[in-house]
A and B are shown apart, each in its own frame.
Chain A
Amino acid sequence: MDSNMTKEITILSGKGGSGKTTVTGALAVLGKNNILVDADVDAPDLHLLLQPQIKRREAFFGSKKARIIPEECIRCGLCVTSCRFDAIKMEEPPVVAPIFCEGCGLCRRICPAEAIEFAEARTGEWYVSETAYGPMVHAHLDPAQGNSGKLVSLIRAEGRKIAEDKRADLMLTNGPPGIGCPVIASLAGAGLVLIVTEPTLSGEHDLRRLAELIAMFKIPAWVCVNKWDLNPEMTAKIEEASRALGMSVAGRIRFDLTTVQAQLQRRTVMDYPESTAARDIESLWRELSAAS
């Protein structure tokens, strides 16, 4: 790795609720000279642990949306039958449901009365903030909006800019669950992926699908089983499967309700250094630091 370049670790899980944000928050405390990115823009939570002070606020324009101008509309219905996304309802006058409008512009181009407006719509906001553990780039998607993948790409690019300016050592990107659009957007170009999973049948199932996705991007992946002592046999099975899939095992974290206590106090679990979770995450961090 080029020593001048910021290394990016993206934290993913496949399955939701396995502890990504808890682990990212703790790693933010352990790392020095970090940039933090919360790429779970659908349901962001990292701000609840790191209490960012917003320094810069920008509107996000996710896509264009069509709107029918009632006075110009001749009620021919061509837009209604031509829309591939069933986003236009034949009412009096026809109306576009912005939630389902894909922003393709077909209706505007085929409308014989030129009665359709088509403009960029604000669908969210993103922020550059300061935290006690380094700058943080995060976002908020307005209710019932899509295109979170585009927003993820945007805030990661912004994070990388800041990282270069500040010559940061590490960019920690907290990813969304799943394997779809926003996950791909938070994965492409990352230096390393840390998968936080749990010792359950669902955790294992989802990990396998995520591993296959990561392999397509040829990014080295490390696996950590959170709450491992809930099912030691499943933990061993997941670790074995991970190695077989070409991933490395980074460590295990014991089940510890201190993580909930920390969350209730709006702190990371590292503020409870004697807790088992804090100690386990510290050894996970040592393992990751040695690797990168």
Chain B
Amino acid sequence: MKIAFASGKGGTGKTTVAVNVAYILQQCGADVQLLDCDVEEPNAHLFLPPRIDRSIPATVRRSEAAEDRCTGCGVCADYCEFNAITVFKNKVIIFPELCHGCGVCAWFCPERIITETFRPIGVIEGGKVKGIRFLQGRLNIGEIMAPPLIRQVKGQAQVAAVTLIDCPPGNSCPLIEAVRGTDLVILVSEPTPFGLCDLSLTVATLKKLGLPAGVVINRCDIGNDELYLFCRQGKIPILAEIPHDRRIAESYSRGGLISKDLPDYRGLFASLWENILALREGNYGKSPAADRGWTAT
């Protein structure tokens, strides 16, 4: 089972919820694997922190030309949709940072002087912590190709009973790549105009991808009820509510695990997991698990 944690808006608590669910599951003896796919700013490791025992370079294809054999025909530059190639007299220049690795130039070069090699974009690191199998992507700084790295992190994942995926913020390519192929997406949001606005964009994106979603409302007592109304109208189940609690903020700021530092919150994450399972099985709201839902009030 693959469960993604996403949000649209940044800083709503995706990573917090993902690492705490992972911790609770491991405590129950479950076979759990956590993938940090927020490759621009991977943070889950700060809360665990895992012993990294393998490191795999992540690469993307890039085209390379034997420049001295270029006849200057310009087909490659004409066909490249990304303006990554210039042909100047009898010389071809391929800009690696603009190359998307699509292979068009290599396919159509009449002189067959363009070959494809690989260039590094980041690293995939794996390890283990407290019985949780951990994998993260770390994008090289200055690199724009986050989606291929996310894909490779997911490609390195092992088969596990439960795979949890910590997604990047936003609603475009990196998020889409991170949630692709998952069974359920948990959206962590907060009941503020910003939280609602960004959540509604993510919900629209997931709808387009045909992925089911549930919501966790973080800092549930700081805003207004518009987010609740939105979820009710859109029939998006609310799986847990986390109150605004200065102790959580302080534990988080030190890189602490809430369910370890603040045992009174263990029940919240355990009940969230029960609700995730019920939703996954199509029983959410029908089984007693939903009635046991932990709330702040």
Q: Say whether A67 faces chain B, with CB atoms less than 8 Å apart.
A: no
- Report the separation of the CA atoms of residues A141 and B253 in the bound assembly, to the nearest whole angstrom: 33
B:177-224 near A, CB below 8 Å: 192-194, 197-198, 201, 204-205, 207-209, 222-224
Stretch from A52-60, A256-264, A284-292 contacting the other chain = A256-264
Q: Say whether A10 faces chain B, with CB atoms less than 8 Å apart.
A: no
Q: Say whether B43 faces chain A, with CB atoms less than 8 Å apart.
A: yes
With a CB–CB cut-off of 8 A, which chain B residues contact A178?
40-41, 146, 168-170, 174
- Report the separation of the CA atoms of residues A257 and B15 in the bound assembly, to the nearest whole angstrom: 23
Query: B201–A184 contact, CB under 8 A?
Result: no
- What 1/0 flags go to A198-236 for Cβ under 8 Å of B? 111110011001001100100000000000001100100
- Report the separation of the CA atoms of residues A264 and B225 in the bound assembly, to the nearest whole angstrom: 11
Stretch from B22-30, B98-106, B262-270 contacting the other chain = B98-106
Query: B100–A42 contact, CB under 8 A?
Result: no
Chain A minimum-CB-distance residue to B201: A43
The minimal Cβ–Cβ distance linking B203 to chain A, given in whole angstroms, is: 9
A:68-117 near B, CB below 8 Å: 82, 84-85, 99-100, 102-106, 109-110
B:1-52 near A, CB below 8 Å: 8-12, 15, 40-41, 43, 46
Question: Given the interface contacts A48-B197, A106-B103, does A18 sit within 8 Å of B11 by beta carbon?
Answer: yes
Interface size bucket, A side?
A: 35 or more
With a CB–CB cut-off of 8 A, which chain A residues contact B170?
42-43, 148, 176-178, 182
Query: B193–A205 contact, CB under 8 A?
Result: no
With a CB–CB cut-off of 8 A, which chain A residues contact B224?
264
Provide a sorted-by-A list of 21 A–B residue pairs whose CB atoms are within 8 angstroms.
A15-B43, A16-B11, A17-B169, A43-B9, A44-B197, A45-B9, A45-B193, A45-B194, A48-B197, A82-B103, A103-B81, A104-B102, A104-B104, A143-B204, A143-B208, A144-B205, A146-B147, A179-B40, A201-B253, A205-B41, A230-B246
Residues of A within 8 A of B (CB): 13-18, 21, 42-45, 48, 63-64, 82, 84-85, 99-100, 102-106, 109-110, 141, 143-149, 176-184, 198-202, 205-206, 209, 212-213, 216, 230-231, 234, 257, 260, 263-264, 266
